[in-house]
Amino acid sequence: MALDNVVSPEWLHEHLEDVQVVIVDCRFALSAPQQGQEQYQAGHIPGAYYLDLNEDLSSPVQTHGGRHPLPKISQLGAKLSQMGITPDTLVVAYDDSRQAFAARLWWLLRYLGHTSVAILDGGFAAYQAHYPVTTDMPAVRSGEFQGTAIPGQIVDIQAVKTYKDQPDVVVVDSRAYERYIGNHEPIDPVAGHIPGAVNYPWQAVTNEQGFLLTPSELQAHYADLNRADEVIVYCGSGVTACVNLLALEITGIKGGKLYAGSWSDWCSYTLDDNMEAQVQ
């Protein structure tokens, strides 16, 4: 069954030959950047193209802006056009990391005005458990991706500083609780969280097999956010925050904004300017 923002392995298998469906493999490993590409080459869902988090879904790292700055629209658009994506295309993204990287593509497409996009529930493992995969590479296609950034979908550090203390704004930290409280920081040079942020770990919206919780379970999970007029979501580098944004959309809490630079951007100013960080 095809649902808003989510498709099942069964639905995808039944639509492999649909020319209006384009599948994108987003597998990636932060600790081994070549792993996703290698996994794709070793076997992927038939017809799937591959997009790399570092090379395709991000732009080069600068002094500020976080570890995974948003990609240049023109470059990503060219890639998407070569996959045959047009305004009428349904894009289905998958990974093997509980939607960590598939959700990044889901969010990017919506940010660029392409709302016909879904993630594969359960990811690659759920599909492979029931259906064959392939090593055949899909042909380059001729498409015409038309993407224009929609204003108001992202915020920068100045906006976070301005709005984080307003009573009708909730800032959501999507990282694991131990990173949020500052007990464990394996990546960034500063531990802790943005003052006032509340913690909703991104992995909490899926089970261990990578299937999303039901809409009613998600509604209960996010119940305290219903009071907010605005929700700003961040993580370490603007990637896994997109899993929370996906789940919020499914729940019906729409309009969540991404602090694209996230904690790694906040840290860069903390180091330079002694900006406030909070540890509990």
For the chain, give the mean pLDDT: 93
DSSP annotation of 265:
H
Check whether residue 115 and residue 63 sit in a common domain.
yes
Of the residues 88, 110, 128, the one at which a domain ends: 128
Written as tens digits, the pLDDT of the chain (280 aa) is: 345 799 999 999 999 999 999 999 999 999 999 999 999 999 999 999 999 999 999 999 998 999 999 999 999 999 999 999 999 999 999 999 999 999 999 999 999 999 999 999 999 999 999 999 999 999 999 888 989 999 899 999 999 999 988 999 999 999 999 999 999 999 888 999 999 999 999 999 999 999 999 999 999 999 999 989 999 999 999 999 999 999 999 999 989 999 999 999 999 987 655 455 554 4
Domain that holds residue 259: 154-273
Q: How far apart are CA 6 and CA 197, in angstroms?
A: 28
pLDDT at 2: 46
Residue 243's H or E segment, with its range, is: helix 241-251
DSSP β-ladder status, 198-199 and 169-173? parallel
d(CA 169, CA 224): 12
Query: Measured between alpha carbons, how far is 205 from 242 in angstroms, rounded to an integer?
Result: 12
- Considering the domain architecture, whether residues 95 and 9 belong to the same structural domain is answered as yes
Shared domain check, 217 and 117? no
CA distance 263 to 46: 37
75 and 168 within one domain: no
Phi and psi, residue 29, nearest 5°: -135, 120
Q: Which residues pair with 23 in a beta bridge?
A: 92
Residue 235 annotated to the active site: yes
Residue 142 lies in a domain: no
**Which pLDDT does position 225 carry in this prediction?**
96
Same domain, 167 and 102: no
Tokens, residue 60: 């080069």
Residue with tokens 């359960």: 122
CATH number of the domain where residue 73 is located: 3.40.250.10
Residues 196 and 99 in one domain: no
Both 14 and 124 in one domain: the answer is yes
Could you report how far apart the first and last alpha carbons of the chain are, in Å? Answer: 44
- Domain presence at residue 185: yes
Would you call 39 helix, strand, or coil by DSSP?
A: helix
Read off the pLDDT of residues 33-56 as tens digits, 9 standing for 90 and up.
Answer: 999 999 999 999 999 999 999 999
Q: Helix H segments across 19-135?
A: 35-42, 73-82, 102-111, 123-128
Residue 123 lies in a domain: yes
Question: Do 170 and 237 share a domain, yes or no?
Answer: yes
Is position 160 within any domain? yes
Last residue of a domain, one of 128, 162, 195: 128
Element (H, E) at 228: none
User: Do 40 and 77 belong to one domain?
Assistant: yes
Per-residue pLDDT of 115-133, as tens digits, reads 999 999 999 999 999 999 9
Q: What is the pTM of this model?
A: 0.95
In a domain, 20, yes or no: yes
Residue 234 included in any domain: yes
- 147, containing H or E segment: none
Q: Distance of alpha carbon 64 from its chain centroid, rounded?
A: 20
Q: Which residue out of 26, 235, 242, 267 is catalytically annotated?
A: 235
Whether residues 113 and 210 fall in one domain:
no
Q: Is 20 helix (H, G, I), strand (E, B) or coil?
A: coil
Q: How many domains does the chain have?
A: 2
C-alpha dihedral sign at 90, 96, 98, 101: negative
